[in-house]
Amino acid sequence: MMITYKAHYKDELHDLDIDITHEKGKALTFTIDGVRFKGDNFDHFKLESPGKYSLDDLPFRLFKTGGKVNDEKPEIETAHKYTYTLQRYSLEVTIPVTVMRISDSRNMDAFIRLKVKLRERNENDRNNIIYRCDGVRVFPDASDVEDFSLHIGDEIINGQKTLYFENALKSINSQIKDTYELKCCLTCQYSDCSPYGNDGFGYMLCYKNHKNEYLKVNDKDSFFEYVEDLDFEFEYETNLCKEFAPPHPLTRPLSSRQRKKQK
């Protein structure tokens, strides 16, 4: 199933509304001026199929990595494909979600508003990932999250300003837990973040086809004991399906990775 997020994109030459789409288990994608980008988070979109384009003519700022690498061992010098990552833009995204009003168990339409801006990195910005182009270290833009908020009618709940959805949604849950229940994959007792780590807007592991086995999982050790070898489906944190089941009420609003599952 294809899911579409409405967004507004702006850079030096563009100021327009766009659609960001994704299919289950696939990257986020959008197209501007016939140029297609794909990414794993809203601050990290790469040029798809760069060989299709005359790169010097593209109306975007691109960060180039890859090429020749020697790692101080010239005798084993190798070459890798170049990648081109979109830079120096701002993006405001609307992500539909569902909340349940606790007072009457009514499901309500809501949305998350996320605004991120990429800017030139300065010497004070930390960058733990080393990027190289033809063996030379290069530095991508830094990204600032200017808004991460949940909107329910006229109510606005401001969450932690981060691209790590698990942390941002947890901060929102802590504020609404007595009034609303956020219904999404992150708060479902049949899904979890990977114990190996995940991206900011990463794929969650959904075990709705193995409910009984998954409800035995209480921590990382029991994850490896009961479900490590079982098949699962990839889902984004904000998705929702008819199999949704909330976690045990005593543990709300912890994230799916942290909470205890009801046995």
Q: Quick check: 257 pLDDT over 60?
A: no
Separation between Cα atoms, residue 262 and residue 195, nearest integer Å: 19
Report which of 95, 99, 107 is spatially closest to residue 187, judged by C-alpha positions: 99
Q: What's the pLDDT band for 230 if we cut at 50, 70, 90?
A: confident
| Per-residue model confidence (pLDDT) at position 247 | 74
- Higher pLDDT, residue 206 or 70: 206
Please give the average per-residue pLDDT across 256-263, as a whole number: 41
Q: Quick check: 243 pLDDT over 80?
A: yes
What values do phi and psi take at 238, rounded to 5? -90, -5
| Per-residue model confidence (pLDDT) at position 253 | 35
- Higher pLDDT, residue 182 or 80: 182
Out of 119-128, 195-204, 208-217, give the one with best mean pLDDT: 208-217
Q: What's the pLDDT band for 183 if we cut at 50, 70, 90?
A: very high
Q: What's the pLDDT band for 251 if we cut at 50, 70, 90?
A: very low
110-127 pLDDT per residue, tens: 999 999 999 998 767 766
Report which of 183, 185, 237 is spatially closest to residue 208, judged by C-alpha positions: 185
| Amino acid type, 173 | N
In the sheet that 191-192 helps form, which strands lie side by side, from edge to edge? 191-192, 203-206, 233-236
| Per-residue model confidence (pLDDT) at position 229 | 83
Contact 70, 76 (CB under 8 A): yes
Query: Mapping DSSP to helix (H, G, I), strand (E, B) and coil, where does residue 68 land?
Result: strand
| Per-residue model confidence (pLDDT) at position 250 | 34
Cα distance from N-terminal residue to C-terminal residue, the chain: 31
Please give the average per-residue pLDDT across 238-258, as a whole number: 63
Return the percentage of the chain with pLDDT > 70, whole number. Answer: 86
DSSP 49: S
Q: Quick check: 46 pLDDT over 50?
A: yes
Q: What's the pLDDT band for 135 if we cut at 50, 70, 90?
A: confident
pTM of this prediction?
A: 0.84
Average pLDDT of the residues of the chain:
86
Query: Mapping DSSP to helix (H, G, I), strand (E, B) and coil, where does residue 89 land?
Result: coil
| Per-residue model confidence (pLDDT) at position 169 | 92
CB atoms within 10 A of CB 27: 16
Cis peptide before 59 (omega within 30 of 0): no
